[in-house]
Amino acid sequence: MSALDGRLFVGVDVGGSSVKAVVTDDARNVLSQVQLPTDASDANALLTSAATAVDRVLDDVGDAKTVAGIGIGVPGQVDPATGVVRMAMNLNIGDEGVPIGTSIADRFEVDTTVENDVRAAAVGAFEALQPRTPDLHTLVYLSIGTGVSAGVVVGGELFRGRDGLAGEIGHVVVDEDGPECACGLRGCLEAVVAGPALRAMWPSVDGKHARDLYRAAAAGDATAAAAAHRLTVRLTETVQWLAIAYGADLLVMGGGVGSLGEPLLSPIRDRLSAFADRSELAGRMVPPDRVVAMPTGHPTGAIGAAVLARERLGDGRAGSKGGQEARTAATGSDGGGST
Ligand SMILES: [Zn+2]
């Protein structure tokens, strides 16, 4: 028995267009989930969006008093010690920062932890895939959407690196003559394979540029096929760098583009298979069947945030260590009721 038996955990994934929230029980089952549009017009509107998602998802389960912890995944540079997020361009948050951790902790009077959204999603992917991957030790999560970023989980532990920036690969310059990036450089990886680059590659009436690009390529459009191939080459290279650098058991793609599934995944695996056919070493380093994608709509980030909230309170996976900076996040007075 643990002090957390019977308690609930809320995970929130604050994105540029939507806020997703889940409630999980102490056995890690998802009891409820909601998705609301994000209002990022200013800091207060953003905090209200996050709080409303928590309210709604708790309405579904009925008994907010049994909530032991809230975890929040949010884009940008997160200080887990203070729960402040900075430099989240798609949320209009600059260097002045927004104290999302203390805001939520004070409002709900529940222990609250904050992590970068992609790092939280890496934890969520590990949580989702571990039961069917018995030898899973090291997982690298590659998020491709508006931007590109990665998160790394080693032995069940989130690997944060200096300033929590381990995996922040979207601003590696891969083509100095490439398009301008929002960060001020030219030809960053994310400027070449995500966001505006995808918009430039193929039109879409509903903003699903990558999906429509792959559909057109499959339908035989030569221009689309050429663009999709360039994307495949760049993404395969990214997958190889990450999988080999971390010795990953699984390389998991996610995000709005990364979770497109087979249209995106198959050409990458085909390319890796071709490398494996030519080189036994290449095949061992990145086995094509070890590159997978989270399904569209899976609340990976919100689930990961709930896992981080639970781990912070000492109910982590085997091998989890307490007392790390990542677990000393913004804390409200714990009015969570009886156990
Ligand atoms: Zn950049």
Distance 130 CA to ligand 1 centre (A): 32
CA 183 – ligand 1 centroid, Å:
4
198 C-alpha vs ligand 1 centroid, how far in Å? 15
CA of 193 to the centre of ligand 1 (A): 12
Q: Identify the pLDDT of residue 183.
A: 83
Cα 181 to middle of ligand 1, angstroms: 5
In a domain, 95, yes or no: yes
Q: Tell me if 3 is assigned to some domain.
A: no
Separation of 29 CA from ligand 1 center, angstroms? 38
332 in any annotated domain: no
Protein residues with C-beta less than 5 angstroms from the ion ligand 1? 171, 181, 183, 185, 188
157 and 253 assigned to the same domain: yes
DSSP string computed for 138-200: EEEEEEESSSEEEEEEETTEEE--GGG-TT--TT-BS-TTS-B-TTS-BSBHHHHHSHHHHHH
Q: How far is CA 152 from CA 126, 140, 316, in A?
A: 9, 5, 17
Centre of ligand 1 from the C-alpha of residue 298, in Å: 27
Asked, for residue 55, whether it belongs to a domain, the answer is: yes
Q: How far is the CA of 148 from the centre of ligand 1 (A)?
A: 10
On whether both 178 and 284 belong to a single domain, the answer is yes
Same domain, 233 and 308: no
Domain span at residue 277?
133-293
Q: For residue 327, what pLDDT is reported?
A: 35
Is 197 part of any domain?
yes
Q: Looking at residue 73, which CATH number applies to its domain?
A: 3.30.420.40
- Is 335 domain-assigned? no
Query: Do residues 201 and 193 lie in contact, with contact meaning Cβ atoms separated by under 8 Å?
Result: no
Cα(187) to ligand 1 centroid in Å equals 7
Cα(186) to centroid of ligand 1, in Å?
7
Q: Do 173 and 265 fall into the same domain? A: yes
Per-residue pLDDT of the chain (339 residues; tens, 9 = 90+): 566 667 899 999 999 889 999 999 988 899 999 999 999 999 999 999 999 999 999 998 877 678 999 999 999 999 989 999 998 888 889 999 999 999 999 999 999 999 999 999 999 999 999 999 989 999 999 999 888 999 999 998 999 998 888 999 999 999 999 999 988 899 999 999 998 899 999 999 998 999 999 999 999 999 999 999 999 999 999 999 999 999 999 999 999 999 999 999 999 999 999 999 999 999 999 999 999 999 988 999 999 999 999 999 886 553 333 333 333 344 433 333 333
Same domain (yes/no): 88, 237: no
Q: What separation in Å is there between the alpha carbon of 147 and the centre of ligand 1? A: 9
Give the distance (Å) from ligand 1 centre to CA of residue 165.
14
Structure confidence at residue 10 (pLDDT): 97
> Are 78 and 198 in a shared domain?
no
35 & 56 share domain: yes
- Report if residue 160 sits inside a domain: yes
Statement to judge: residues 146 and 45 lie in one domain: no
Query: Are residues 213 and 141 located together in one domain of the fold?
Result: yes
Number of domains composing the chain: 2
* Any domain includes 192: yes
**Cα 152 to middle of ligand 1, angstroms:** 20
CA of 175 to the centre of ligand 1 (A): 11
For residues 96 and 57, membership in a common domain is answered with yes
